Chains A and B, each alone.
Chain A
Amino acid sequence: MTDTMEPTAAPMIVPDFGDDASDRKLAIICSKGNLDMAYPALVLGNAALGEGVETHLFFTFWGFDMIIDSRMDNLQFSPAGNTAMHLPIRGKEVRIPQALMPLPGMTGMATKMLQDQLEELDLPSVRDFLDQIVAAGGQLWACRLSADMNKVDMDDLYEGVTDIINASDFIEMTEGAQLLFI
């Protein structure tokens, strides 16, 4: 073989999917029960799983609403205190005065608007998103103290929750993990 053969052919490049070095681990603490605050954890957790990262979601305090079976399909978004809420009115983006936000019906309207936007982007509901995360190998953990506060047990929780664990269990299990508090 001489140097002149196949002068244009480069050696084959194989992408590095990092399978050998995938000891990365992510733990996300979900502490909020508002609809808008549910999604960051769901999007990032799902993305991490898609990248082969071991992923744990830990639900605590208000975040419990994301996994209480009777509440998770009905999370709300309140514009009160949120100055980044703009409404398209007559072709303009209007910032609604904060004094109007606590009026009756505002939370319902804002929730509906957010749900419509999420749907437009083809984002799954909280339940469907958790289904997908569990199917991708994600682990869901419920906080013992929050379970006691809410007076619920495993029977009241979304079926994909692995277990109710205490704070020490969580700390032990997330050794070496990257932590995200939402």
Chain B
Amino acid sequence: MPVTTIAGAEVHVNDEGFLTEFDEWSEDIGAALAANIGIEMTPRHWEVIHFLREDFKAQGETATTRRVQNAGGFPTKEQFTLFPKKPARKMAYIAGVPKPKGCV
């Protein structure tokens, strides 16, 4: 696993650039990751990201867009607005969790 420096911290990432260690994440890192893919974080973005992290901690897997809507209360449409085109992957990337495995 490559080690890289993001927002001044050394973190482990996979070959796509996703963080591999849940606990190495911080909001500074999240903001830097978001900036990498052209997303400027707003309080609403952070709400989604914190839901994703808490849900991952509780469930052991990354929430799909459907779960982010049903369990997190963030409508699908809004997810596409906040994280354009590929919301599931982009949310996971910024939140420092793996890409979701589920189909739906």
Q: Which residues of A are in contact with B by a Cβ distance under 8 Å?
A: 6, 8-15, 17-19, 22, 43, 46-47, 50-52, 122-124, 129, 132, 135-137
Contacts and interface: CB of A to CB of B under 8 A. Distances in A.
A132 B93 CA distance: 22
Interface stretch (B40-48, B49-57, B82-90): B82-90
Contacts of B6: 12
A18 B84 CA distance: 11
A46 B66 CA distance: 10
B58 interface: no
B37 A135 contact: no
The A interface, classified by DSSP as helix, strand, loop or mixed, is: loop
- Chain B interface residue bracket vs A: 20 to 34
A12 B38 CA distance: 15
Nearest to A11: B4
Contacts of A15: 16-18, 37, 89, 93
10 contacts: A9-B4, A10-B3, A10-B4, A11-B4, A12-B5, A13-B4, A14-B17, A47-B104, A52-B84, A132-B66
Nearest to B102: A122
B36 A135 contact: no
Given A51-B86, A135-B75, A46 B104 contact: yes
B31 interface: no
Given A46-B104, A47-B103, A13 B15 contact: yes
A4 to B, nearest CB: 16
B104 A136 contact: no
Contact of A124 (B3, B37, B84, B104): B104
B96 to A, nearest CB: 13
A136 B16 CA distance: 25
Contacts of A17: 37, 85-86, 89-90
Interface centre among A8, A19, A50, A132 (most CB of B within 10 A): A50
